[in-house]
Structure 1
Amino acid sequence: NVSDADARFTDPEQAAEFVHLTGVDSLAIAIGTSHGAYKFKGDPYLDFNRLKKVGELLPNFPIVLHGASSVLPEFVAKCNEFGGNIPGAQGVPEEMLRKAAQMAVCKINIDTDLRLAMTASVREYLAQNPSEFDPRKYLGPARDAIKGMVAHKIKNVLGSSNKL
């Protein structure tokens, strides 16, 4: 029997047992992240003590965080400014992701941030160029927005600059 709160999180001992029994290459664990643009109803929380324990039980084993986008407010605002409707979206603060990356986590999934960057760019372009219908025109800036987001995450959040 576990509490409702603990039921949503990875049990470190079970994670270690699972890795040893299955021989998996990496493991996505639950420490408070979730998919989508609405990750927290209250204050953002990641269970770093749980992550530390997993790292101790599985030293040098690749740990993954799914659903770890920051849902940066400026991209939510841009989406909404140009016709989107995603009020109250909230992600994992970047400083929390940086801390996780300095611990046992080696891969952080940020798909929602990439989709927000692209969608904000496409919405802005089409709003400013309403007669345009050539995807090559609005997807170019959208690709640039994704490249910018990826560069920001690599350099400022994930700590992966200049690493092989």
Structure 2
Amino acid sequence: VEEHVTSAEHVYTDPDEAVDFVERTGCDSLAVAIGTSHGAYKFKGDAKLDFARLEAISDRLPGYPLVLHGASSVPQEFVELCNKYGGKVGGARGVPEEMLRKAAGMGVCKINVDTDIRLALTATIRQFFVEHPEQFDPRSYLAPAREAVKAMVAHKIRNVMGSSGKA
């Protein structure tokens, strides 16, 4: 029988073990567990990232590229747009962008936000089909969807990750 332990001490990254792992594997970057979670339905309450743990990891691995998986913000305007046009994305919540911005200033150099991108794409396509039911050519509905994805990615790069102009 597998035992599932839910305390932060057992599921979050241990700073000392992170150093040992990096030294033993020679990995190029390290995804750390500090409270993010995959999917659109992340939190039953408010998001809580363990910034003290992130600081401890960053202090032990100075300049080492850290990654946050499952760090989508789940922008409510896209949840609402998706639902307005037939979606059923109820109760979806993510990591507030200000928390991600703080993490980006503490050694995190890659933040995974796939759910946000998928929401922008899907909401835009749903809206298009309701407003243009006669359309069936993918070029017609994918053009605005691509623009929504482009805008989402530009926003994340500039305003959340702080990586604009650093390529």
TM-score where L is the length of structure 1: 0.97
Match of 1:21 among 12, 19, 24: 24
Aligned-residue offset at 1:4: 2.3
Deviation at 1:8, TM superposition (A): 1.9
Letter in 2 for 1:96: M
2:148 aligns to what?
145
Q: Deviations over 1:82-138 (max 9, x none)?
A: 000011100000000000000010000010000000000000000111121111100
Task: Show structure 2 runs of 5+ residues with no match.
Answer: none
Structure 2 residue 12 is matched with structure 1 residue 9: yes
Amino acid at match of 1:133: F
Matched with 1:72 is 75
Deviation beyond 6 Å, 4+ runs, structure 1 = none
Q: Aligned equivalents of 2:158 and 2:66: distance in 1?
A: 20
CA distance in 2, matches of 1:153, 1:70: 10
* Counterpart for residue 116 of structure 1: 119
Partner of 1:59: 62
Cα distance in structure 1, aligned partners of 2:136 and 2:145:
14
TM-score w.r.t. structure 2 length?
A: 0.95
Cα RMSD after superposing both structures? 1.1
Percent pairwise identity: 63
Shift in CA distance, 131/11, structure 1 to aligned 2, threshold 3 Å: same
Q: Do residues 40 (structure 1) and 43 (structure 2) align?
A: yes
1:3 offset after TM fit, Å? Answer: 6.7
Q: d(CA) in 1 for partners of 2:8 and 2:102? A: 22
Q: How many residues align?
A: 163
Unaligned 5+ residue runs, structure 1?
Answer: none
Q: Say which SS state the counterpart of residue 110 (structure 2) adopts.
A: strand
